[in-house]
Amino acid sequence: MKIKSKLMLGLWVLFLLILLMGLSANMYIYKMGKDSKSILKDNYISIKYAKEMLQQLDQMSNAEKAQQAASVFEKTLKQEESNITEPGEKETVALLRTDFERYRQNPASPQLVNAIRAKIYKITEVNMNALERRNLAVQNNVERAVVYVSLLLAVCILTSFSIIFNIPENMK
């Protein structure tokens, strides 16, 4: 094999290793970005709805704002009912719906207000726990990606050194 052919072969191997390294790193970065987006999206929306319902629940104790607050609460509760993402959330939202309907019949009941508040806190807790759980999964994926990319980098470096030291050896 001619020196020029050996040199070209070595350069092509280096090129392919660099390409492999770049594609692997990009794949892992893309996957992590996608995972983090999905973590925030649905669970954050449920937490936002819960916050809004708590604010409206507080407003319902004000006689002047009670009707409007109940209307906003109803709208937000419907939105939450269509954003069920976690195990146990559907049941809690159904219980919240039941308590809210009972509250509309008897708005003077502090027990119902407390029951509604407890259900809203439970929805928040379920979604916060899901955020924490998914965040840990993403962190594990990041650690795994670092290991894979580091191993690939080591292979690329070793192969590059092998080519660097073997080409001059073959030129003699």
pLDDT for 129: 93
Q: Which residue has the higher pLDDT, 51 or 27?
A: 51
Round to whole Å and give the CA distance between 56 and 9.
70
Q: What is the DSSP letter of 86?
A: S
Residue 21 has pLDDT above 60, yes or no: yes
Give me the CATH code for the 3-171 domain, please: 1.20.120
pLDDT for 22: 82
Residue 62 has pLDDT above 90, yes or no: no
> What digits encode the pLDDT tens for the residues 139-158?
888 888 888 888 888 888 88
Q: What is the dihedral of CA 96, 101, 107, 112, to 10 degrees?
A: -30
Which spans in the chain are helix H? 3-59, 66-81, 89-105, 110-171
Name the token pair of 7: 């040199």
- For residues 112 and 106, the answer to whether their CB atoms sit within 8 Å is yes
Q: Which residue has the higher pLDDT, 104 or 36?
A: 104
43: Cβ contacts below 8 Å, ≥ 6 apart:
85, 86, 127, 128, 130, 131, 134
Average pLDDT of the residues of the chain: 87
The confidence band for 60, taking pLDDT boundaries of 50, 70 and 90, is very high
Amino acid letter for position 102 = R
pLDDT for 45: 93
Burial 128-148 (b: 16+ CB within 10 A, else e): eebbeebeeebeeebeebeee
120: Cβ contacts below 8 Å, ≥ 6 apart:
50, 53, 54, 57, 96
Give me the residue spans of the domains in the chain.
3-171
pLDDT for 167: 67
pLDDT for 137: 82
Round to whole Å and give the CA distance between 156 and 9.
15
